[in-house]
Chain A
Amino acid sequence: MVGLLFLLSLAVFFLFNLLPFDPARLTCGKVCTPQLLEQNRHRLGLDLPPWDQYLAFVRGIFFGRIYAPDQPFPIVCHAPCLGYSFLRHAEVTTLIARALPVTLWLTLGGFIVWITFGVVGGIVAALRRGRWQDRVLMTVALFGYSMPSFFIGLLLIFFVILQLQWLPFPSASAVQAGPFANPVKFFQTMILPWLVIAILNAAFYVRLTRNQVLETFGEDYVRTARAKGLPERTVVVKHALRAGLTPIVTAAGLDIAYLMGGAIITESIFSLPGMGSLSVNAVTNYDLPLITGVVLVAGIFIIAMNLIVDLLYGFLDPRVRIG
Chain B
Amino acid sequence: MSTVHAAKGVSSGATEVPERPFLSVENLSVKFPTEDGLVQAVDGVSLTIEQGKTLAIVGESGSGKSVTAQAIMGLIDRRTARMSGQVWLDGQELMGLPMPDLQAIRGSQIAMIFQDPMSSLHPFYRIGDQIIEAIRVHRSVSKKQARKETIDMLRRVGIPAVERRVDDFPHQLSGGMRQRVMIAMALINSPRLLIADEPTTALDVTVQAQIMELIASIQDEFKITVILITHDLGVVADVADEVAVMYGGRVVERATTAALYLKPEMPYTLGLLSSIPRMDKEMDRLDPIPGNPPSPINLPKGCVFQPRCAYWERVPDDLCKTTRPELLATVPDHMVRCHLEPEVRREISASVLSVLSGGRS
Contacts and interface: CB of A to CB of B under 8 A. Distances in A.
Interface in A272-323: 316-319, 322
Given A227-B75, A228-B137, A322-B172, A242 B99 contact: no
Contacts of B108: 229
A210 to B, nearest CB: 15
Secondary structure type dominating chain A contacts: helix
Interface stretch (B8-16, B115-123, B258-266, B269-277): B115-123
Nearest to A318: B169
Contacts of A130: 79
Given A228-B133, A228-B134, A232-B99, A242 B124 contact: yes
B156 interface: no
A317 to B, nearest CB: 6
A221 B122 contact: yes
Given A221-B120, A239-B122, A228 B75 contact: no
Interface residues of A, number: 24
Contacts of B112: 227
A228 B114 contact: no
B100 interface: yes
B99 A322 contact: no
A229 B106 contact: yes
B114 A224 contact: yes
Q: A221, A229, A230, A231: which has the most chain B beta carbons within 10 Å?
A: A229
B100 A231 contact: yes
A225 interface: yes
A243 interface: yes
A322 B167 CA distance: 13
Contact of A228 (B70, B107, B119): B107
A47 interface: no
Interface string B87-124: 00000000000011001111110011010100111111
A52 interface: no
Contacts of A318: 123-124, 169, 171
A250 to B, nearest CB: 16
Contacts of A42: none
Nearest to B189: A229
B137 A221 contact: no
B116 A226 contact: no
Interface string B144-170: 000000000000000000000000010
A219 interface: yes
Interface string B29-51: 00000000000000000000000
Contacts of A239: 122
Nearest to A245: B124
Given A227-B75, A228-B134, A229-B138, A243 B106 contact: no
A230 B103 contact: yes
Given A227-B112, A228-B134, A316 B124 contact: yes
A129 B77 CA distance: 12
A229 B105 contact: yes
A70 interface: no
A223 interface: yes
Contacts of A317: 123-124
Given A226-B75, A322-B169, A231 B103 contact: yes
A227 B107 contact: yes
Contacts of A231: 100, 103, 137
B73 interface: yes
A229 B122 contact: no
A139 to B, nearest CB: 20
Nearest to B138: A229
B57 interface: no
A225 B185 CA distance: 11
Nearest to B70: A223
B149 to A, nearest CB: 15
Nearest to A227: B112
Contact of A224 (B103, B121, B137, B172): B121
A219 B73 CA distance: 17
B66 to A, nearest CB: 10
Contacts of B100: 231
Contact of B104 (A223, A226, A227, A229): A229
B137 A230 contact: yes
A220 B124 contact: no
Contacts of A232: 99, 103
Contact of A223 (B75, B79, B105, B123): B75
Given A232-B103, A318-B124, 13 more contacts: A220-B114, A221-B123, A223-B114, A224-B182, A228-B107, A228-B185, A230-B103, A239-B122, A242-B124, A317-B124, A318-B169, A322-B171, A322-B172
Lowest 7 A-B CB distances belong to which pairs? A229-B107, A229-B106, A220-B119, A228-B107, A221-B122, A318-B169, A220-B120
11 contacts: A223-B75, A224-B185, A227-B73, A227-B107, A228-B107, A229-B105, A229-B134, A231-B103, A232-B103, A239-B122, A242-B124
